[in-house]
Every structure is written in C-alpha cells, then in structure tokens.
Amino acid sequence: MFRTSIIALTLGMMLISACATTHAKRKGAFYPARIPASSETQRLANVRVALFQSIPRLRVASKEPVKIYDMNTRSMMADSVLKEESQLTPRNQHFMLNGQTLLAQKIRLVPAEKDFIKCNGQRFRGQIEVSCNARGGLLVVNFVPLEEYVKGVVPNEVQGNWPLEALKAQAVAARTFTLSRMGSSANAEFDVEANTNSQVYRGMDSEREATNQAVEGTAHLAATYQGRFISAFYHSNCGGHTADVRNVWGNDIVYLKGVACGFCDDSPHYNWSLTLSLKEITNLLSQRNIEFIRSIEVMGRLPDNRVLSLEIVHGGGKEIMKAPAFRMLLGPERLKSTNFEITPNAKSLVFKGKGWGHGVGLCQEGAYGMARAGYGFSEILEYYYPGIEIKFLE
C-alpha cells in the first residue's frame, strides 16, 4: 500500500514534468537546459520539513480517514477520521492518540487522496511523520512533494502582490535552496525546518493565487552551477550591494561573491536605525562574559561597506568581534544588517544602517525592483547568482 502510493506519486511527478516542458516551449520565452533523469532526482520527490521539534503534544485533525503506519514494520495500525480535538502525545517511546496506545516509535499519518492533515491548527499537504526525541518531545515532519512545499513557502517569504516575475524568481530560489538541502545527510530526520533557519513554511492556508501561479509557472526549474544545485541563499534587502558569502559564513562560493544591486534603494527595508542603551547591549552580550561596556567602535569595513569587525571596550578589557557574530548576539531582527555606522550618546548607541538580512545571494526587494523595471525571473536570478544556469528537473 505504502509502496504503491510512492510509485503513484513518482508517476504523477513525471506526468507533471512532461506538461511543464510543453508549456515552457509553447511560451517560447525561455528554454532551460535539462538535468539528466536519475534515481537521485526521483528520490527527491518529497521534501522532509520539520514542522515542530520537541513539542509535548500535537493536535491533529482530518476530514477523511487517515491511515496510521508503524514506520519500523511498515504495517498499518489505524485507519480513522481524526476529529478536531485529537491529541497525540509521547509516552515511554510510544504514543497516545486520544487515550489509545499506539505501540510504535515512529508513525506516519497518510491522508486520503486530496485530503490534508491539520497539525496544531494549520493544514498541510502530504504526509505527517511523528517520532519521539531523546528528551521525550515530539518531532513532527511533513513529507510533502517539492512543488507543494514551495507553494507553502513563497507567500511567507515575499508579498503576494509583488510583480509575477519577482515571485517566480523567489519560487526558483526557494525550490533550489530546498534541493541543495535534500539528501545532504542520509541520517538526518529532515531536510529543512519550517522557520527562518531554512525557509518559512506555513502549509496550504498561507498559499495565495499569485504565488501559486509563480510556482506553477516555474515548475521544476532550478538554478545550478557546474551541474549542481546552488546554495540559493536570499535575504530581504542588501542595502546597495549583496555580500560575499566568505565574509558572512567563511566559505568561498563563486556565484555568491556579491554584486552591486541598485534595485532596492526605494524599498522599505533599505534604511533603518536602532538605538540601544549600553545597559541593554551589555545584557545582550552577557553570554560572552562582556560586562560594563564603555564603548563600541567599528574597526574596519569591507569593500561593500559592511562592517568587518568591532572593538568592544568593557570592564574586563577589550574584545574584537566579527560583525556577523555581533549581529547575532544583538539579535538579527534588531540589528538588521552589518552595514551600519555607530553614533555614541551619553548612555546609548545609535546604529544607522542599510539593508535587512545576511546580504548573501538574491536581494528580494531588489528582485521586486528588477521585475518592476521589466526584467524576467531568469534575468533576476542570473544577476544575483552570477554564472548559474537554470535547468529543468526530470
């Protein structure tokens, strides 16, 4: 039963691929090259998305009967409708579902065709796998076809009222980012997280017509470099120049060296300012044993104007800290980028900066600006990831 549905899914993906190819050729605007078919790409039909990690209970609901499988024996344990109040809880390496014991360490909930499973109030396409972690909490993983997953990501990463070509660029970036993560570790329980550690994914309730149109319009297209999926990082606003990944995370990647943008300076996140008291900063840096901060000064800048490092003078001496680490300690939602200047006041510091995010890869608000200026999604992607090729997955 289980194997049959996987084969059916694979066949379904192949049929979709065939339709999308015809569509792309008929439009005549864009002829992506192909990645040869392989068992690897077939295997990657489902993304494993960690919806919740280490939660004490999960509320599950369905309209139609849901089949519950023991994933060790692959045998079906139950086949019933999950009412709205159904509660799944861990107990001594097995589960309780509405007071009934499920003797398994890992279970898979498989919905009826065209039905979905609601998890903690959000509807998700695909299947749900639940296991207990070492601390007795629940790990909830959504097994969802790649294209359906991307539909649940794009509206949470950009606004649905953006120009279609910007939405398409985001769809290809999100799809490619996911493909670069899939199968990277055979032992991992999941490929991506449903939050900003990977990409924000909120399932089918978050889907919008325009963003679904962008996903369908670019179905099975991905960005590659020398035949491999690129690490398609993206961020809200680059502040005028995207970052060289080497200065952010230390690795040297040809297509992530940074480009001048010039398309995001009218956008809402281009300029920002933040005022923090020295006391607040001391609290935020306390995990590094930094106390009684006296001053913080910029020590050097990169050619793209981002701060390289800072000198922090405090009660116990002084410390040189790299700007990305400093940003993480202050909080990336507070200190929105590492492109800033510092003005000291009596008991506070004023940070005035540009851009929002790590700055690596696609500038989302720049993609918006490029689409408004008439560029197509492939031109946008090739601008922010120089040297890439957009290819069709088979």
Binding site for Zn ion (CB under 5 A): 238, 261, 264, 363, 366
Nearest distance in Å: CB 302, Zn ion:
16
Nearer to Zn ion, 310 or 380 (CB): 380
Taking residue 363's Cβ as centre, other Cβ atoms within 10 Å add up to 33
Nearest distance in Å: CB 260, Zn ion:
9
Q: Which of 122, 175, 123 is nearest to 145 (CA)?
A: 175
CB 76 within 8 A of CB 160: no
In terms of C-beta density within 10 A (0-12 exposed, 13-18 middle, 19 or more buried), how is residue 339 classed? buried
> CA-CA distances (angstroms) from residue 103 to 72, 135, 173, 356?
11, 18, 41, 48
Nearest distance in Å: CB 136, Zn ion:
45
Triad 275, 279, 283: Cα angle to 5°: 105
Q: Which of 4, 27, 9, 7 is nearest to 148 (CA)?
A: 9
Nearer to Zn ion, 111 or 359 (CB): 359
Nearest distance in Å: CB 384, Zn ion:
8
Nearer to Zn ion, 324 or 366 (CB): 366
Tokens of 382: 């090739």
Nearer to Zn ion, 122 or 339 (CB): 339
Nearer to Zn ion, 12 or 268 (CB): 268
Location of structure tokens 């919905």: 111
> DSSP letter at 194?
S
Nearest distance in Å: CB 158, Zn ion:
13
Nearest distance in Å: CB 271, Zn ion:
12
The alpha-helical segments, DSSP class H, found in 225-319 are 245-248, 278-285
C-alpha to C-alpha distance for 249 and 254, rounded to whole angstroms: 14
Nearer to Zn ion, 263 or 392 (CB): 263
Nearer to Zn ion, 90 or 366 (CB): 366
E strand residue ranges, 169-292: 192-193, 221-225, 228-229, 234-235, 271-277
Measured in residues, the chain has a length of 394
Nearest distance in Å: CB 383, Zn ion:
10
Nearer to Zn ion, 126 or 240 (CB): 240
Nearest distance in Å: CB 327, Zn ion:
18
